[in-house]
Structure 1
Amino acid sequence: MKPIKVTHTNLLLWNSLRDLVFLENKDFERITINDICKRAAVHRSTFYNHFQDKYDLFTFGYRYYLLQKNNIAIEKQFFYPFTIYKMLNEQIHLHFFHFNYCDSLHALIYKLQREEMGRMLKRLVEVGYHLEIDVHIAVDLFLSIHMTFSEQIETGLLNDEEADEIFQKFLCKPLVKKNTHV
């Protein structure tokens, strides 16, 4: 993942889009650059000085919130993802890290989540873990389980701690091993 540039203007624009999507429940496809700029009190040309389009802005916002995980140990991020998401959601006062997005954002969010899962698995390997399966298969497998568990959490069939426990027991422990020799 390429580093993101966090500026005051970027955050103004992101907060505007975030509020339109998540607080006002506007359909992402119907939100215009003018809507975003008006809410942020930023000129349209300024928007284009920072972002290509609203998808680029959403990508910035998603990655910006993922940066909040950087001060958390990679093992905790990976083995307790649902507890971490709950904590981040509470910190940002927004239910952002689960999967109930409007249809037009699913492909983009899935792409961003695949990147994040790949980054986490590679980081685990760097700190002394071994994957029992190919990293590309692991990314898809872990992400599909994340999506399933997130849906279960959304519907109230699981809580975050239960999801983490099942995730560890049936997926992490069999497929991610700590190297015993260095």
Structure 2
Amino acid sequence: MVNKTNEDLRVRRTHKLLYNALLELMGKHPFEQITVKQICELAMVHRTTFYTHFQDKFDLLSSAVRQIAEEEFKNFTEVSLTPFDNFRELLSIAKKHKTLFSQLLFEERDSLRNLLRKAMGAGMKRYLTENGSIEVNSIEIQIKIEAYIGAVLGVLNWWIENNISMDEEDLYKKMNIFSEWNFAE
């Protein structure tokens, strides 16, 4: 009879092999082109074993992301970090898991969030070009534009997701913290 600890270790080992295979393949191919067969071959795990643990490659990816979040995102919730240290922590995690981040953050080409980000960015660049003598393609201006759009979309998401009982005009007024930003600097 196999004891529970050994069984748990085998499950964890299988998951780790599959996670690592998936991440390695994602470093070479877009996620949508990766097959379960490729993952299993690279992990040296039989397909029936794969399907014993996961429904499909999306389930594997979701599980891998949750596992990484459990391991890597502890400092966000367990340690009191300044906003800038929070950002530094995020950059460190993104660098460590660059393949995963690049696939998951940028493969949402047709998502509403990405379409809004692109449209708002183009509109802001047009406005800044027409109303100022600044180089909108400078890295400093790009960072400010992306920070502003990210904040606005984050607040919008929070407002909708939590069904906040503040009307859009009040929310707009509360977001005036960005009115002090000088994009020309």
Normalised by the size of structure 2, how large is the TM-score? Answer: 0.48
Larger Rg: 2
The two structures have a TM-score, normalised by structure 1, of 0.49
